[in-house]
Amino acid sequence: MGRKLDPTRKEKRGPGRKARKQRGAEVELARFLPPVEEQVSPQKEKHAVKAAGQTARGRSGFSDGNSKWLAPAKAKKIQPKGNHVELSSDGEVEESSWEMEEEEDGSSEEMVDDYGASSSEEEELLPIEKAALKQKSDREGLSEDDSEEEEEEEAEETNKQKMGQKEEEGPDLQLNLDIDEQFKLPTSEEIEKEDILFISPPDLHVIHQRIQGNVEVLQDFGVKREEGRSRQEYLTLLRRDMAAYYSYSDFLLTKLMDIFPLPELINFLEANEVPRPVTIRTNTLKTRRRDLAQALINRGVNLDPLGKWSKTGLVIYDSTVPIGATPEYLAGHYMLQGASSLLPVMALAPQENERILDMCCAPGGKTSYIAQLMKNTGMILANDSSAERLRSVVGNLHRLGVTNAVVSNCDGRQFPKVLGGFDRVLLDAPCSGTGVISKDPAVKTNKDEKDILRCAHLQKELILSAIDSVNAASETGGYIVYCTCSIMVEENECVVDYALKKRNVRLVATGLDFGKEGFTRFKDRRFHPSLKSTRRFYPHTHNMDGFFIAKFKKFSNAIPQAKKEPAVEAAAPSTVPDTITEPPPKKKKLEGSKADKEQKLPQPALKKKRSFQAQRRPLKA
């Protein structure tokens, strides 16, 4: 069959592989053989024309600039009957006669080169075919060149327009950068206008940029401050902007600005806008962490170990099933519990066969963790003042398989009189919740000074009751762990310092390798130096809820006597719950007054009174 010509093919090709390989042999052979002209028979020429489907054309080459790569490929052909070689005008063998003779011989097999690879038909085009391809490509190239030139012109125009836009935008961007670098306080008139505009939603992007610029100025106030402006003006504007941007009350922001440096305060506020990771605690009373992790992974849960500091915690990234309703959860293999809630129990370090009091136990996560560390030995008294919250405690203890717990509903402040002599006490005191703002955003606005002082007063009463409930003579214990989910100094360091002054206790190391040290001085207050052993945890540094932990060691059951004046003691009777209450002395005074009256009465009157009392007794019976 003849070669098929694809007229739409526009690729420009050079000589084929055979021509490239055999060119050197042609030159060598042309040196030794005499030039012999062999005329091509008309039959051969017709055969070649019929094979190509084209009219016969001259073979003297091409006159345009592409003659080098459009020239016919050179090949070597050794005649079987004689040494007759057809040479071109430049002394090389013409490929046309070589291919025509090959076709005349009737060889339909493809030629195979030295490496065994067959030459493709596309690389072995006849000169007539190449001339036809060139002619068509020249015709189509004119229209294509025109279209290509138009496209190039359009592309250049668009590029020029883009460059012009960039040049126009460049000065604006530089001006914006200059404005950002040079932060200036707004005037009172601008602030009043913003207050009027705050009726509608404020522009948070502008406020955020102003917060960043203000913080930069306050960090290097001596250099970047505006002349004639005080630091207090910058702080007032910053507090106002942060209150608008993060939706905090002015009171709470003032408290937070006293606790944190400005850059750390921004990180704390940003961390409160993001929820903490979901964490679970493995119940080792029923399973192992490795087995639980494998079971949850098989259900489509993506998890990792919580950290090197915890042997039971797992952090959940995402899940295809609800974590609080899996068969493993219902079987009590794990407990949904925050990472920060594991730390107080680890600091308490309960031992087997001990008597432990959990004074504020709801919803039962810490109680069940204590039970699993004790391996269901000893006794745990789980107490809470709310009867409704105790329902969740009972349900969790049953689900998790805790058998060494006793649940009670008592006021923690009266607990030393109810029951005492415990080896260890855990007090997770009720607090303002400023460490768990990510869980309860309402704390941003619904807390004021009275709430903080009310919580601090209750915490002082509870910590004294917890210390009095511990037996200092315990062989293995005598420890109290006080913790809150608040970061306020009034609820943490102030309460701990108060307990150190009122009871025979001292602070010891919590046993936790991480966490920030507690404050030993805050504003105008000075605390005991041992408060360095307390630990603070923040959401922006430890990626867990804000928490405070302190661990006491009781070294004497005796209550130190107050050295203050009696008038001062009467003014604050609630600070020491074990002092003698007022009703018993009143009864004694009444009894004493009756005895004095009887002594003053004469003997006959006494006899009449006693006889009258004797007559009334049978009536009562």
How many Å apart are CA 381 and CA 395, to the nearest integer? 16
Q: Give the Cβ contact number of residue 144 at 10 Å.
A: 11
Mean pLDDT of 145-164: 62
Beta pairing, strands 313-319 & 301-305: antiparallel
Query: At residue 175, does pLDDT exceed 80?
Result: no
At residue 131, the pLDDT reads: 77
How many Å apart are CA 98 and CA 85, to the nearest integer? 9
pLDDT higher at 26 or 333: 333
At 185, is the pLDDT very low, low, confident or very high (cuts 50, 70, 90)? low
How many Å apart are CA 432 and CA 426, to the nearest integer? 19
Q: Tens of pLDDT along 31-42?
A: 666 665 555 555
At residue 142, the pLDDT reads: 54
At 602, is the pLDDT very low, low, confident or very high (cuts 50, 70, 90)? very low
Query: At residue 513, does pLDDT exceed 80?
Result: yes
Structure tokens given for 261: 């440096």
Query: At residue 78, does pLDDT exceed 60?
Result: no
| Binding site as annotated, residues | 360-366, 384, 411, 428
Highest average pLDDT, of 6-15, 184-193, 297-306, comes from 297-306
Beta pairing, strands 405-408 & 379-383: parallel
pLDDT higher at 449 or 214: 449
At residue 529, the pLDDT reads: 93
At residue 277, the pLDDT reads: 93
At residue 134, the pLDDT reads: 78
How many Å apart are CA 506 and CA 231, to the nearest integer? 41
The DSSP code for 527 is: -
How many Å apart are CA 250 and CA 239, to the nearest integer? 7
Query: At residue 612, does pLDDT exceed 70?
Result: no
**Percent of the residues in the chain that have a pLDDT greater than 70, as a whole number:** 60
Query: At residue 391, does pLDDT exceed 50?
Result: yes
- Give the residue from 27, 153, 142 showing the smallest Cα distance to 91: 27
- Residue 530 backbone dihedrals phi, psi, to 5 degrees: -70, -5
Which of 69-83, 150-164, 270-284, 390-404 has the weakest average pLDDT? 69-83
Query: At residue 140, does pLDDT exceed 80?
Result: no
Mean pLDDT of 151-170: 60
Q: Say whether 458 sits in a helix, a strand or coil.
A: helix
Query: At residue 122, does pLDDT exceed 70?
Result: no
Active site residues: 485
Which of 20-24, 98-102, 339-343 has the weakest average pLDDT? 98-102
Query: At residue 80, does pLDDT exceed 80?
Result: no
Mean pLDDT of 579-588: 38
At 149, is the pLDDT very low, low, confident or very high (cuts 50, 70, 90)? low
- Give the residue from 415, 371, 368 showing the smallest Cα distance to 392: 368
Query: At residue 392, does pLDDT exceed 80?
Result: yes
Mean pLDDT of 462-488: 93
> Apex CA 411: angle with CA 410 and CA 417, to 5°?
85
Structure tokens given for 247: 């939706």
The dihedral through the CA atoms of 37, 41, 45, 51 has a sign that is negative
At residue 485, the pLDDT reads: 94
pLDDT higher at 76 or 396: 396
At residue 162, the pLDDT reads: 57
The CA radius of gyration of the chain, in Å to the nearest whole number, is: 49
Q: Report how far Cα 501 is from the mean position of its chain's Cα atoms.
A: 41
User: Which structural domains are found in the chain, ordered by start?
Assistant: 188-246 (no CATH), 277-336 (3.30.70.1170), 338-554 (3.40.50.150)
| Binding site as annotated, residues for S-adenosyl-L-methionine | 360-366, 384, 411, 428
Contacts of 87 (CB under 8 A, 6+ apart): 30, 35, 93, 94
At residue 148, the pLDDT reads: 57
Query: At residue 163, does pLDDT exceed 80?
Result: no
Amino acid at 38: E
Q: Tens of pLDDT along 454-467?
A: 999 999 999 999 99
Q: Give the Cβ contact number of residue 258 at 10 Å.
A: 12
Q: Do residues 559 and 501 touch, judged by C-beta distance below 8 A?
A: no
> Apex CA 532: angle with CA 528 and CA 537, to 5°?
125
Query: At residue 587, does pLDDT exceed 50?
Result: no
DSSP letters along 304-350, please?
EE--TT-SSEEEEEEESS-GGGSHHHHTTSEEE--GGGHHHHHHH--
At residue 561, the pLDDT reads: 79
Structure tokens given for 308: 């090197």
Give the chain's end-to-end CA distance (angstroms, integer): 140
Query: At residue 339, does pLDDT exceed 60?
Result: yes
Mean pLDDT of the chain, nearest integer = 75
Structure tokens given for 415: 């607990």
H/E element holding 521?
Answer: strand 521-522
How many Å apart are CA 407 and CA 371, to the nearest integer? 13
At residue 355, the pLDDT reads: 95
Q: Report how far Cα 24 is from the mean position of its chain's Cα atoms.
A: 71
Q: Tens of pLDDT along 41-56?
A: 556 555 655 555 544 4
HSE-up of residue 544 (Cα within 13 Å, Cβ side): 20
Mean pLDDT of 506-522: 93
| Burial per residue of 160-170, b for 16 or more beta-carbon CB atoms within 10 angstroms, e otherwise | eeeeeeeeeee
Query: At residue 127, does pLDDT exceed 80?
Result: no
Note if the bond before 42 is cis, omega within 30 degrees: no
**Percent of the residues in the chain that have a pLDDT greater than 90, as a whole number:** 47
Mean pLDDT of 432-436: 93
At residue 586, the pLDDT reads: 40
At residue 94, the pLDDT reads: 43
Amino acid at 363: P
How many Å apart are CA 374 and CA 543, to the nearest integer? 28
How many Å apart are CA 558 and CA 576, to the nearest integer? 13
- Give the residue from 452, 446, 513 showing the smallest Cα distance to 484: 452
Which of 217-221, 235-239, 378-382 has the weakest average pLDDT? 217-221
Q: Do residues 507 and 532 touch, judged by C-beta distance below 8 A?
A: no
Query: At residue 96, does pLDDT exceed 50?
Result: no
At residue 141, the pLDDT reads: 59
What's the residue count for the chain?
A: 621
